[in-house]
Amino acid sequence: MADNFWLNPSFEPKRQFRFLIELSIGGQNLQFLAKQVDRPSYTISSNPHQFFNHTFHYPGRLTWNSISMTLVDPVSPNASKILYQYLDSIGIAKPTNQATATATTITKSSATNGLRRLVIKEMGTVPGTAETKVEGNWTFLNAFLTDVNFGSHSYDSEDMVEVTMTVQYDWAEYRLGDDIASGS
């Protein structure tokens, strides 16, 4: 019964609410604003090959799936303002005249430089204490925003305004402890 981890008093499962986000957009650290974030996921395509009456499947390409994140939008720092300024930082200008309407170009470099850092830190407790520590972290490499929803207002609610966004990235790296992947 030594393999029965539920009976092991030192066993501690990862909890959904024990996480920190290191999120830097336009030089602003938005770490404390995170309310929810997806963990990374990937898909490996399957390529079928038919041989007589049989079909055999071979692994194809690896694709990292986008993640979504929800932030609370406080008065200061104003997450809406920072995410709106992200558009300027990646090369999108307001189309107020012909020159700005036709000169806007988003590049991979500008998009990934606009979202400087995205790391999900998984927190755990030190056994026998109330102390917390970083158990591991996911670093998203070459990440950029693909969708931002600034939320809504309503007179029949006292809820906080939330901003949701979708992040695309080339790959994610997982490291144990507080060791951050290089290239982040």
Convert the pLDDT of each residue in 10-36 to its tens digit.
777 788 888 889 888 878 888 878 899
pTM reported for the whole predicted model: 0.82
Q: Is residue 1 part of a domain?
A: no
CATH number at residue 57: 2.30.110
Q: Is residue 159 part of a domain?
A: yes
Convert the pLDDT of each residue in 149-180 to its tens digit.
999 999 999 999 999 999 999 999 999 988 77
The whole-angstrom separation of Cα 66 and Cα 75 is: 28
The whole-angstrom separation of Cα 120 and Cα 143 is: 13
Convert the pLDDT of each residue in 78-96 to its tens digit.
888 888 888 888 888 888 8
**The pLDDT of residue 183 is above 80:** no
The whole-angstrom separation of Cα 179 and Cα 138 is: 10
Q: Which of 171, 183, 182, 184 is nearest to 62 (CA)?
A: 171
- Which residues span the domain enclosing 30? 11-176
Convert the pLDDT of each residue in 89-146 to its tens digit.
888 888 888 887 777 688 899 999 999 889 999 988 877 777 888 999 999 999 999 9
pLDDT at 1: 47
Please state the domain count of the chain.
1
Q: Is residue 51 part of a domain?
A: yes
